[in-house]
A and B are shown apart, each in its own frame.
Chain A
Amino acid sequence: MKTLLHRIVLILTVILIAAAAGGAPVVATVDQVQPKVVKVYGAGGVQGMANYQSGIVISATGHVLTTFSHVLDTDYIDVVLSDGRKFSAKLLGADPRLEVAVLKIDATGLPWFDLAKATDAEAGTRILCFSNIFSVAMGDEQASVQRGTVAVRTRLEARRGVFETPYRGPVYVLDVTTNNPGAAGGALVSFRGELLGVLGKELRNSLNNTWLNYAVPISELRESVEEILAGKFVARRDAPEKKPERPLNLAALGIVLVPDMLERTPPYVDRVQPASVAAKAGMQPDDLILLCGDRLTQSCKALQAELQGLDYEDPVKLTVLRGQQLIEFTLQSVGPATSKKGQP
């Protein structure tokens, strides 16, 4: 009885303190969140495409959650921690459907966000956004902080010309202009510093030239991140353990990729052979092949290597990006691969 009373007193005291601290100082939250936010630098810097974005640390051992974008389309990704330390990062894996990627840096003892503890927010929740917006924070400077409110939690109504994006899931729409160059991958937190979501990319409605400021709830991303950490959506690093006798190749599917000119030429479809498996399935020139099965295919070479690991009789699932739409094709080669030359 005595302990129960003690407990009640304790709980009520805590409630009252929490109520009194209703307007908890933003400065304290900023200090608490800032060490878990990073700046990411990679590919870009041409044609108005930023070569920087944001990320959040999700493990003490250097896992960084960020947005899957052109910035990661390079072997040279840098991550700058809030204390100014700079690390080379590896792309561990990415899920193009959610535009989420996980990087790994060689660091330990980092302050981090536990995705398992991330919460959900209702419309009206006051929020803070931490991001590398416009790359304002140069050198060792810390990320920019903005404040606002969750306007609504809804599904992203994306269609052709209107907020075109591969992601069509639930989002927090924000009442503050967060989604500027560099903001993608930044942290959306409550005024208490609880992680709510990850800031999305710049998103424009080309019909009326309005821009949407949104973040993807952590609850939507959690599973994907876990899968990436478990080895799914990861680019193949090693040669397949045993090569099939008759490995699959692009010719067997009727796909001709763009000429492989670069260290990492993105696997865009250049042509689809008439009446081929790919043509029948509906693949088109300019489709960008993002995934082969669950493997990330960031280059023509990576895609070819992936197919090499499959027997020509195996059905293969290709996930492609057409415009801003993700489409999945399952292709089944009809006969042994005839081309001995392979694809360019």
Chain B
Amino acid sequence: MRRRLIVIAVSLLLLAAGAVQAFAEPSKAVLEAESQRIAAMRKAKDAVLAIFVPSGQGGGSGVVISPDGYALTNFHVAQPCGKYMQCGMADGKAYDAVLVGLDPTGDVALIKLFGRDDFPTAELGDSDRLRVGDWVFAMGNPFLLANDFQPTTTYGIVSGVHRYQPPSGTLLEYADCIQTDAPVNPGNSGGPLFDDQGRLVGINGRCSFEKRGRVNVGVAYAISINQLKNFLGVLHSGRVVDHATLGATVDRDAEGRVVVNDILESSDAYRRGLRYDDEIIAFAGRPIASSNALKNMLGVFPKGWRVPLSYRHEGKRHDVLVRLAGVHAQEELLQKSGGTEPPKPKEDPKRKPAAKPKGKGKAGRTEPQETAAPEIVVKNFQAKHGYANYRFNTLNQRRVWDAWQATAKLAEAGGAWTLAGSLGTGGKFRFLLDEQGGALKVPSGEIKWTAGDELGASLLPAHSGGLLPALYLWRRLATTGLGRFGDVSYYGTAPLPGRAALADVLVGSHKGVECWFYFDPADGRMLALEMFADEGADPCEVYFSEYREVNGRAAPGRMEVRCGDETFATFKIEEFKAEKPEGRGK
């Protein structure tokens, strides 16, 4: 025993001597940490962008997130660029990029680079897993130093998580953001914040500046990547997108509960039963212990999403899904964010053009020359009111519609449609849908509905929210296609109850009603539709599932219809017939 102890003591002494030696020279652990840091930075740097305004005045940073060149930056970096910008990468090359989508409230822009289909991309991390004290690093183009496009790296720790930085007016709100002491300076804006593994956890965009001028003083903020994951789909729509509001405000009462102190009666929250003085327990799965916590969580969702809300009303807990309205009216947002038209480049009177084009003479040209957009940008940009770049909306409309029709094969079925089977409550049903309207036969009788000039004028059957007009619009979208349905746009992606993955959404308007069509991005199938006859009323929600193949078509085997908090009916579809139009004269 004693001998064994002596042996152990001697070996430990030797090891300890080694450890002491290791303090003199860097220890293995330190060297390993260093190699890991270098590897993470090496992995991360290739996806980092140095963004330059085409007029040569200003710029910022960005990061590529898909091999086909989609990249994230700040709204306040993209906005001065107008419709296009130039992006330098660590490979030393500059790529042309076009504006895709703008989120002025969240200070985010989505752009697309051209010239490769194998762009290096940043791996997306999970910002909710970040903890105060975790090592992070920022990469980008501070002070626009990167003449060779090599990003500058600054290193630090997470100083705070779930921070709330209020907006200026209603724009540039940093909700649920990451605070870091990794130095972020002017020019870093729009650039990535990576975790110690080189995964993208945020987009740097804001600093606390005060009396020391516009240089970092140890406090910077990054938009969380988890917020961006919520917004990526809607930014792909090419729209100027808005953030969300609950339609209710909260405060802490004397007992420390977060309670509703004001609520709009027109809000979905009100329709879901939320009232003045109710206690907010959780929102979007996070417990709400302060009004700031609610502001934080609201700030990470796009307008139009449905998000879980738990509240206590008269002692009883309610768990509901609440549809979020926009922070702004559409025109207000466009006006505040500087419109959709790119600003004309400003001329710096002190700055002389570096080289004058030959043969133009010396005659004083006072007007700044509009930098001509490269051909690839011209091809990929389409101006339209309300959009950052309408081109990407049409591309996505077509993508979603084509994917749907690839399996649904309903485009040719312009004749009458029949859906028949059994009701969830027992008994048989039969729907007949055609160009004039629709009918539903159930054991208790038949309900007929004719499409008039205002589809919302008659929402039959009663208590369904308008199932017949909703199915009429479903048939109409399939058979008329995108061009002739009415006004159709791609919303982006949104959640559906009971589904983890987001769905692609097309929004169509026809004869006074708006219909949201949800599609599975994986297989193109229609998952649901929601028909809004009136902005202040609950829509008719139709959920399609149990798809099976019928005559070479993917047809839904089950249809569940809900309105408000109630399920109207479930239909087990045993027969699905969609005829071609009769005769040739259609």
Of A24-32, A151-159, A272-280, the segment with at least 4 beta carbons within 8 Å of chain B is A24-32
Q: Which residue of A lies closest to B183 (CB)?
A: A177
Overall SS of chain B's interface: mixed
CB-contact partner of A141 in B13, B156, B163, under 8 A: B163
A28-49 CB mask vs B (1 if < 8 Å, else 0) is 1111001000000000000010
Q: Is A261 an interface residue (CB 8 A)?
A: no
Contacts of A144 in B (CB 8 A): 159-160, 179, 219
Contacts of B16 in A (CB 8 A): 12, 15-16, 19
CB-contact partner of B162 in A31, A133, A141, under 8 A: A141
Min C-beta distance of B425 to chain A, whole Å:
49
Q: Is B289 an interface residue (CB 8 A)?
A: yes
What CA separation (Å) do A141 and B179 show in the bound complex? 12
What CA separation (Å) do A48 and B160 show in the bound complex? 24
Contacts of A30 in B (CB 8 A): 131-133
What CA separation (Å) do A176 and B219 show in the bound complex? 11
CB-contact partner of B12 in A9, A133, A140, under 8 A: A9
CB-contact partner of A134 in B13, B19, B208, B292, under 8 A: B208
Contacts of A20 in B (CB 8 A): 19, 29
Instruction: Contact check, A1 vs B219: say whether CB atoms are below 8 A apart.
Output: no
Q: Is A137 an interface residue (CB 8 A)?
A: yes
Instruction: Contact check, A12 vs B12: say whether CB atoms are below 8 A apart.
Output: yes
**Which B residues, 200 to 239, have Cβ-Cβ distances below 8 Å to chain A?**
208, 210-212, 216-219
Contacts of A146 in B (CB 8 A): 156-157, 159, 181, 218
Q: Is B135 an interface residue (CB 8 A)?
A: yes
Q: How many residues of B contact A (CB 8 A)?
A: 47
What CA separation (Å) do A20 and B134 show in the bound complex? 19
Q: Is A161 an interface residue (CB 8 A)?
A: no
**Which B residues, 333 to 363, have Cβ-Cβ distances below 8 Å to chain A?**
none
Instruction: Contact check, B163 vs A137: say whether CB atoms are below 8 A apart.
Output: yes
Q: Is B30 an interface residue (CB 8 A)?
A: yes
Instruction: Contact check, A147 vs B219: say whether CB atoms are below 8 A apart.
Output: no
Instruction: Contact check, B33 vs A23: say whether CB atoms are below 8 A apart.
Output: yes
Instruction: Contact check, A15 vs B19: say whether CB atoms are below 8 A apart.
Output: yes
Min C-beta distance of B444 to chain A, whole Å:
56
Instruction: Contact check, B159 vs A8: say whether CB atoms are below 8 A apart.
Output: no
Contacts of B8 in A (CB 8 A): 9
Q: Is A87 an interface residue (CB 8 A)?
A: no
Min C-beta distance of A56 to chain B, whole Å:
17
CB-contact partner of A6 in B5, B23, B208, B217, under 8 A: B5
Q: Is B567 an interface residue (CB 8 A)?
A: no
Taking each of A2, A12, A25, A26, which has the highest tally of chain B beta carbons within 10 Å of its own beta carbon? A12
What CA separation (Å) do A16 and B211 show in the bound complex? 47
**Which B residues, 127 to 150, have Cβ-Cβ distances below 8 Å to chain A?**
131-135
Instruction: Contact check, A138 vs B208: say whether CB atoms are below 8 A apart.
Output: no
Can you list 22 A-B contacts with CB-CB less than 8 angstroms, sorted by A residue number? A2-B1, A6-B5, A9-B5, A12-B12, A16-B12, A16-B19, A20-B19, A22-B29, A26-B134, A27-B131, A27-B133, A34-B132, A133-B208, A133-B218, A134-B219, A136-B160, A136-B163, A136-B208, A140-B292, A144-B160, A145-B132, A180-B217
Interface residues in chain A, defined as those with a beta carbon under 8 Å from any beta carbon in chain B: 1-2, 5-6, 8-9, 12-13, 15-16, 19-20, 22-23, 25-31, 34, 48, 84, 128, 133-134, 136-142, 144-147, 176-178, 180-181, 211
